[in-house]
Copies of this chain bind each other. A is one copy, B any other.
Amino acid sequence: MTSDDTPTAPARAVRADVRRNRARLLAAARETFQREGAGASLEGVARTAGVGIGTLYRHFPTRQHLLEALLADAYEELAAAARDLMVAPAPGEALMTWLRTFMARVTVFRGLAASAVVSLRDGRPEGAAARRAMCEAGEALFARAQRAGDAPAGAAFADVLWLTGAIAAVTEREPEAAGRLLSLAAAGMVPGRR
């Protein structure tokens, strides 16, 4: 006996299959992108996942959809990191630590940072919950630094994230430079101008 809300055994099997394929595709994409960057062949990703390219496109209509699904994991981790840092003693230093973590997390493979910048600007529905969670937790950390006088009162957290994403995107092949440019943007390029 089945009601409208209770799926039949075959329907449940189909759903389990869909979930399994999605998980396989994400694992394959992570592995492939780490090796070849975000521009790697999607045919190759599907092959590694053991599914057809049609299945990949049913789950992820575009490359950006696939990248945003991977970013959702990053955003969840970053939301948790921001919450942890809320109790760190120095609010400005805590914000800097988080921004460094953000940069490191969105540069785990070539092309991910550029995709993060797009995802944070466009605000698509994919991965929206994780992105919102990260933005809220990061914003709280930023507001705390503002209250402590460590961050500019008039600035918007979205701009801080955008600027940090931009630095990550241009320095992704040079981690040392990434740290240098972030420090420069944190301290200010022309802080003493009158």
Q: Which of A25-33, A37-45, A152-160 has 4 or more CB atoms under 8 Å from chain B?
A: A152-160
**Interface residue tally for chain A (C-beta within 8 Å):** 39
Which of chain B's residues have a CB closer than 8 A to the CB of A159?
A: 177, 180-181, 184
Contact A186–B189 (Cβ < 8 Å): yes
- Least Cβ distance of A188 to chain B in Å? 3
Tell me the minimal C-beta distance from A99 to chain B in angstroms.
8
Say how far A155's CB is from chain B's closest CB, in angstroms: 6
**0/1 interface trace, chain A 174-194, chain B, CB 8 Å (1 if under):** 000100110011111111111
Number of copies: 2
Residues of B within 8 A of A164 (CB): 189
A49 at the interface (CB under 8 A from B): no
If A165-B170, A166-B166 touch, whether A186 touches B188 (CB-CB below 8 Å) is yes
**Residues of A bordering B, CB below 8 Å:** 90, 92-93, 95-96, 99, 117, 145, 148-152, 155, 159-160, 162-167, 169-171, 177, 180-181, 184-194
4 tightest A-B contacts by CB? A92-B193, A188-B188, A150-B192, A166-B170
